[in-house]
Structure 1
């Protein structure tokens, strides 16, 4: 007979079992645990149901939080699987938080099957229907792998489930790590705006993600892409015997962590250098304020800000949902901002210093506070005299180029105008002089356009071209007398 209160160091909850605040579920090989814990040291009475990797896989890490947006008072929380197949977190004096409740149309048959919740060694916490005859799995009703945090483990999915419009993605602070079903590539977004992309998946890898190798230079990942009418997602499995996971941190870095009993390595992916101006390694260029230039960047510096004007104070944003990336983005957009620091000890909220203050670097060791100080690029540090000299140089160059272009345009215009006038006036002039000559006693040598220098009598008749066309019936074959060395002869 199953007990109503579940003991520690077991991996399964059966109908009627409860995991209270002092208990822990542990996967069969001890790789993962599920328990209530406080995540904020400043709020020890607020607890969360947390699934974590243990030291047995090389290090501890947080995989999943059941009630991330709804902390409960410690130690009143408990995880319960009731006899109707409902998995829920209960708390004293408040409504329960349902993780899964079987619908009325479910195919669960209480006479031939039983519903249990099990923590697997893959890091997946599942609610499944088992056969009461042989204990085989009939169906998985719910799983924590569908609700990702900031860790991507082998067997997890990134993508879209078209059957229920559910999206699998990682979230860390202001950043999300997503799968693009159309482009078959990874994307990192900052507050919903595209920040970085991996490039399309080709030949077993991505353009802006380096190959994955372990400490012994062996390949550690097999990638898979599934695309059909029901879902489109990316997943991977590991080819090594030690831990292999990806992690999205709150600064927008994507990291791969490998660990075994002998070695541990961390590979930083190229997303970390994206600053809005940089487009290297998959970074996306973002609209920038006119006061920021390529090479401007934030640096961690030890020291303190002091007011230039006695009454000046830092600007404070106490929103606890703001992380380092939000503070950096806000300072970057404000042309008066010189630097920032967190407003709270848990690295949330923002404290900004403007042009009314100046930063004093401390190399004496009297302070350990790291401020994020905006440093200017070298071109912004030019002396005013040098800047003016460069400006004058470019003004003279621009003036010379403009003058040369103007002279060129005038010459071309004069040539075209002269050519046009000549073509319009010369031919009528020649024709009129020929007609005049026909009615006079001048020789052909006096007529412009005729190449004949012999002095002859005026016994030559001049005809208009239209008259010649009419007389020869448009130079027809019937009026052709023959062919000579200078062309055809017509009657």
Structure 2
């Protein structure tokens, strides 16, 4: 049986063992995240054996480049995380509690991408967030001289299906969306198109050539053979980074929906005329369009 306690002096946690809570619901240990090619590991807490979706990470901004991580409590009572080896880059998006605005925010490269707006009560934010018809959420912000943090509790109500009467989990997706894994509702992500501020989205910054009527749309089709393209094989660039770079380049008209590396990172930029395939059988692209209404 796995232990639920890490003792001072001699005890340690590494990539081959874990701590499991007494009720069997939570696990603390080292887990690998990201692409199959990456060996980066994190110290995290997850539900049961769902190691691919930890809800807390100790070293989110500084992943360990291999499986050499060790957690221990030294003779002075200090908890230490040690490892050997050069950390791998973090992802494009982070999900944070903004202590100043008293709101939950998704940031892309440290710039706010989506927000709930301020916490209005212990059950709601300024922007509609989460599905109260399925689960009842209670939100708490503790703020004093010593600490400032956000937490929530969740319970089923009379409309909750029996199969959904479990813990709610929020997953930060690679496109910058937060998905409630109980209701499968997604907030942020691809609904933020660059020029819209609805649903909590923040308008992207850009040059004067991008107006409030420009936005990204997902289109099927292709570019003529003479259209110039530019490839960037930087493996730290996600598709959201590619869209941001294209948005700030007045000559760029679109990017592919997938990267040009094996792990779907990197960018391909297009500079010409897009020909849409109305049959819907062609490759998908993120194309910058202009709203002609109004």
Q: TM-score, length-normalised on structure 1?
A: 0.47
Work out whether 1:39 is the aligned partner of 2:33.
Answer: yes
From 324, 328, 335, the equivalent of 2:250 is 335
Aligned to 2:268: 351
Deviation at 1:77, TM superposition (A): 4.6
Q: Give the helix-richer structure, 1 or 2.
A: 1
Deviates more, 1:286-295 or 1:318-327: 286-295
For structure 2, list consecutive stretches of 5 or more residues without a partner in the other structure.
157-164
Q: 2: CA distance between counterparts of 1:20 and 1:193? A: 34
Q: 1: CA distance between counterparts of 2:114 and 2:184? A: 20
Aligned to 1:109: none
From 121, 124, 127, the equivalent of 1:208 is 127
- Is the contact made by 1:34 and 1:49 (CA closer than 8 Å) also made in structure 2? no
From 233, 237, 247, the equivalent of 1:322 is 237
SS of corresponding position for 1:61: coil
Deviation at 1:70, TM superposition (A): 4.4
From 271, 280, 286, the equivalent of 1:372 is 286
Deviation at 1:56, TM superposition (A): 6.7
Q: 1: CA distance between counterparts of 2:275 and 2:32? A: 36
Deviation at 1:244, TM superposition (A): 1.5
SS of corresponding position for 1:320: coil
Deviation at 1:243, TM superposition (A): 0.9
Aligned to 1:63: 55
- How many matched pairs? 278
- Is the contact made by 2:99 and 2:148 (CA closer than 8 Å) also made in structure 1? no
Aligned to 2:160: none
- Is the contact made by 2:219 and 2:285 (CA closer than 8 Å) also made in structure 1? yes
Distance change in 2, residues 1:38/1:336 (3 Å): same
Work out whether 1:245 is the aligned partner of 2:160.
Answer: no
Q: Greater relative contact order (Cα 8 A, min sep 6): structure 1 or 2?
A: 2
Aligned to 1:255: 179
Work out whether 1:178 is the aligned partner of 2:100.
Answer: no
Q: 1: CA distance between counterparts of 2:179 and 2:41? A: 25
Deviation at 1:328, TM superposition (A): 0.9
**Over residues 322-346 of structure 1, what are the superposed CA-to-partner deviations in whole Å (9 max), with x where a residue is unaligned?**
2222211111121221221313232
**Over residues 155-183 of structure 1, what are the superposed CA-to-partner deviations in whole Å (9 max), with x where a residue is unaligned?**
xxxxxxxxxxxxxxxx96244433243x4
- Is the contact made by 2:2 and 2:18 (CA closer than 8 Å) also made in structure 1? yes
Q: 1: CA distance between counterparts of 2:81 and 2:140? A: 35
- Is the contact made by 2:71 and 2:80 (CA closer than 8 Å) also made in structure 1? yes
Aligned to 2:12: 18
Deviation at 1:375, TM superposition (A): 3.7
Q: TM-score, length-normalised on structure 2?
A: 0.73
